[in-house]
Amino acid sequence: MRKKTGLGKKKELDAQLNLTPFIDLLSTCVCFLLITAVWIEIGTVEVKQSHGTSANQEKKETFDLDLVFKDPTEMSLNLKKNGKRVQSLKVKAENFEDMLVQLNQTIIGQVLTFKKKSIEIATATVTPRSSVNYGSLISTLDVLRKNRIVNIGVLTAGGN
């Protein structure tokens, strides 16, 4: 038999852990999550990628629309056919809500009826400035979707 070497008594490795407060906290969190799950609304936005897809491209002429924010109450619209600008329009108002109304009227009156012919917009790109908030960008996308323009891309304005 060997002698024990060391200084002092050997400590016990069994520690008692009180799990009751942890279980109480866990059950409170579960109840909170179950009650608040009622107010979660799941929304979807159906958008397609405007450029860079490998989908079959049609041979017909298409029109593209570029919207560029100058500031939160002014934007320019460029209608392009085969990559070349064919019409340039400006929309400006005193406040953002009026600008959205004017944007909708411009799209209906001058873009979708280009040269008194009904056209279809293949893709639209929106370029916001850093001064344009997220809600304004989403409202602009809603105006486009309301006019059946679904291939929408959002570009970043470098250094603005």
The domain that holds 74 is classified in CATH as: 3.30.420.40
Mean confidence (pLDDT) of the chain: 82
**pTM score:** 0.59
Examine residue 132 and state whether it is found in any structural domain, yes or no.
yes
Examine residue 75 and state whether it is found in any structural domain, yes or no.
yes
> Which residues have C-beta within 8 Å of that of residue 66, sequence separation ≥ 6?
77, 78, 80, 124, 125, 127
Which tokens go with 89? 């329009």
User: 132 exposed, middle or buried (CB, 10 Å; 0-12, 13-18, 19+)?
Assistant: buried
Examine residue 122 and state whether it is found in any structural domain, yes or no.
yes
Residue 17 clears pLDDT 70, i.e. is over it: yes
Examine residue 47 and state whether it is found in any structural domain, yes or no.
no
pLDDT attached to residue 76: 93
Examine residue 131 and state whether it is found in any structural domain, yes or no.
yes
Examine residue 52 and state whether it is found in any structural domain, yes or no.
no
Give per-residue pLDDT as tens, 85-143: 899 999 999 999 999 999 999 988 888 888 878 888 889 999 998 888 889 889 999 99
Examine residue 115 and state whether it is found in any structural domain, yes or no.
yes
Distance CA 36, CA 149 (A): 36
Q: Grade residue 41 by pLDDT with cuts at 50, 70 and 90.
A: low
Question: Quick one: which H or E segment has residue 89?
Answer: strand 84-92
pLDDT attached to residue 67: 93
Domain total for the chain?
Answer: 1
pLDDT attached to residue 78: 92
Nearest in space to 77 (alpha carbons), one of 47, 132, 114, 46:
114
Distance CA 74, CA 94 (A): 9
Range of the domain at 121: 63-154
Which tokens go with 54? 């490998």
pLDDT attached to residue 23: 93
Examine residue 137 and state whether it is found in any structural domain, yes or no.
yes
Q: Grade residue 58 by pLDDT with cuts at 50, 70 and 90.
A: very low
